[in-house]
């Protein structure tokens, strides 16, 4: 007895059935989803401080240039600059408790503290750090963009006529005007909708919501 021919005239082996297998064996085992790795707390973005750094660099370069020119002039048997002679005379004659000495020292101390503050603080207060599902990726959201998202979501609530949102690093102030519906119902809907919107922003530190609803003022 010959074997059955395939569609192209070739022999084909019949499949072998395993009687010991059951229908449950054919169902693939579910593979658990890998838990997303969460990176450590995402801090604020650091500013490059280009403008203060450029101003300080220019001032230091100008002072160094003037000082080098004066030293070269003295070495060439020329009189020193009048400004340096006057400054030396004033420092030699004025006592330490003089008003102008104290004012100059206060200004210098204030400038030094300002530069130290710029060096140790991150800056970029308008950029809100977002959560880091991957330790190699950092993202930030501008506070203006976050406010626009919250305003658009608030305008979807029935009864809301206009909305003003001020998004900060720790709190988002929402001021809504409702021209119909009960104010408590509108406020409850805004709390629910904006709460979901804040969580959907994906911020590392979601701001607290402060919602106020009022009636529109009378015209005239």
- H, E, C per residue of the chain: CCCCECCCCCECCCCCCCCCCCHHHHCCCCCCCCCCCCCCCCCCCCCCCHHHHHHHHHHHHHHHHHHHHHHHHHHCCCCCCHHHHHHHHHHHHCCCCCHHHHHHHHHHHHHHHHHHHHHHCCCCCCEEEECCCCCCCCCEEEHHHHHHHHHHHHHCCCCEEEEEEEECCCEEEEEEEECCCCHHHHHHHHHHHHHHHHHHCCECCCCEEEEEEECCCCCC
Per-residue pLDDT of the chain (220 residues; tens, 9 = 90+): 444 444 444 455 555 444 454 444 554 455 444 444 444 556 777 888 888 888 888 999 999 998 898 888 888 888 888 888 888 888 788 888 888 889 989 999 998 898 888 888 887 888 899 888 888 888 889 999 999 999 999 999 999 999 999 998 899 999 999 998 999 999 999 999 999 999 999 998 999 999 999 999 776 5
Q: What is the pLDDT of residue 135?
A: 82
Residue 142 CB partners (closer than 8 Å, separation 6+):
126, 127, 128
Q: What is the pLDDT of residue 75?
A: 87
Q: What is the pLDDT of residue 91?
A: 79
**Distance between CA 160 and CA 189 in Å, rounded?**
10
Whole-model pTM?
Answer: 0.61
Q: What is the pLDDT of residue 48?
A: 80
Q: What is the pLDDT of residue 51?
A: 84
User: What are the beta bridge partners of residue 212?
Assistant: 175
Q: What is the pLDDT of residue 12?
A: 52
Per the CB < 8 A criterion, the answer to whether 177 and 160 are in contact is yes
First vs last C-alpha separation in the chain: 105
Q: What is the pLDDT of residue 29?
A: 52
Tokens 């402060």, located at residue: 210
**Distance between CA 215 and CA 159 in Å, rounded?**
10
């Amino acid at each position: 007895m010959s074997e059955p021919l395939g569609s192209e005239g070739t022999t084909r082996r019949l499949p072998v059935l395993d009687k010991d297998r059951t229908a449950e064996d054919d169902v693939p085992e579910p593979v658990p989803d890998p838990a997303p790795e969460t990176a450590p707390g995402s801090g604020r973005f650091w500013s490059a401080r280009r403008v203060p750094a450029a101003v300080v660099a220019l001032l230091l370069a100008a002072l160094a240039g003037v000082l080098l020119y004066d030293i070269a002039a003295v070495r060439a048997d020329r009189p020193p600059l009048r400004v340096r002679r006057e400054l030396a005379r004033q420092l030699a004659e004025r006592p330490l408790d003089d008003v102008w000495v104290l004012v100059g020292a206060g200004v210098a101390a204030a400038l030094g503290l300002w530069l130290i503050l710029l060096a140790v603080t991150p800056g970029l207060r308008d950029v809100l750090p977002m959560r880091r599902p991957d330790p190699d990726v950092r993202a930030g959201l501008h506070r203006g963009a976050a406010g626009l998202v919250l305003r658009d979501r608030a305008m979807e609530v029935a009864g809301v006529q206009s909305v003003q949102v001020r998004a900060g690093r720790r709190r988002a102030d929402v001021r809504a005007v409702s021209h119909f519906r009960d104010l408590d119902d509108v406020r409850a809907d805004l709390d629910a909708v904006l709460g979901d919107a804040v969580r959907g922003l994906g911020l590392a530190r979601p701001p607290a919501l402060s919602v106020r609803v009022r009636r529109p003022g009378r015209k005239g």
